[in-house]
């Protein structure tokens, strides 16, 4: 701190580091619990019975939410060295965006559990359309918020939760 009570631009804000570390720890615990639940669902006597797909979707969603929580924690951790209204506004957009993406993945996983109850091609197409529409309804706004929040005018961050893709 400078003598007049103002904060230096390079002085870390340990509150954000602590919140980020705590959030990351909760996310990692959630992932471990989810992986354990996924492994437990593999041992069900009949995985395609009524409870099998729902249990599998719940377990998968737990892993997904763990990944979202870790990602949010990473953005909180990185906020420890950043200051200003634009940075905070960008981080809020990023966090809300990742929560929307988590909802998209969660809801899609639960809808996919219905694949085991499909008996006709028409039902399959309707379920596929429902899964796609649900994912896009939640995921596209979420991705847009993350993209906007990461822009150089706001948080000036790199997107943390991404999947590498390549076309061969």
Instruction: Write the pLDDT tens digit of every residue in 8-49.
Output: 555 668 888 899 999 999 999 999 999 998 888 877 655 555
Mean pLDDT of the chain: 85
Residue 168 CB-density burial (10 A; 0-12 exposed, 13-18 middle, 19+ buried): exposed
**What gap in Å lies between CA 160 and CA 47, rounded to an integer?**
34
The C-alpha R_g of the chain, in whole angstroms, comes to 20
Q: How much is the pLDDT for 3?
A: 45
**What gap in Å lies between CA 54 and CA 137, rounded to an integer?**
22
Give the model confidence (pLDDT) of 86-99 as tens digits.
988 999 999 999 99
**What gap in Å lies between CA 26 and CA 21, rounded to an integer?**
9
Closest CA to 98 of 151, 150, 57, 156: 150
**Hey, how many other C-beta atoms are within 10 angstroms of the C-beta on 32?**
13
Q: How much is the pLDDT for 117?
A: 80
Q: How much is the pLDDT for 44?
A: 61
Task: Tell me the pLDDT band of 62, cut-offs 50, 70 and 90.
Answer: very high
């Amino acid at each position: 701190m400078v003598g007049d009570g103002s904060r230096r631009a390079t002085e870390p804000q340990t509150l954000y580091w602590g919140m980020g570390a705590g959030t990351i720890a909760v996310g990692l615990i959630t992932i471990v619990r989810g992986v354990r639940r996924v492994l437990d669902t593999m041992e069900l006597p009949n995985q395609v019975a009524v409870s099998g797909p729902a249990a599998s979707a719940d377990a998968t969603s737990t892993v997904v939410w763990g990944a979202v929580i870790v990602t949010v924690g990473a953005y909180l951790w990185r906020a420890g060295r950043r200051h200003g209204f634009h940075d905070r506004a960008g981080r809020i957009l990023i966090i809300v965006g990742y929560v929307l993406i988590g909802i998209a993945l969660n809801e899609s996983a639960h809808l996919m559990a219905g694949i085991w109850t499909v008996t006709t091609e028409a039902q399959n197409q309707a379920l596929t359309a429902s899964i796609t529409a649900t994912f896009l309804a939640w995921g596209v706004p979420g991705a847009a918020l993350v993209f906007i929040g990461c822009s150089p005018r706001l948080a000036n961050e790199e997107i943390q939760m991404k999947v590498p893709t390549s076309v061969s």
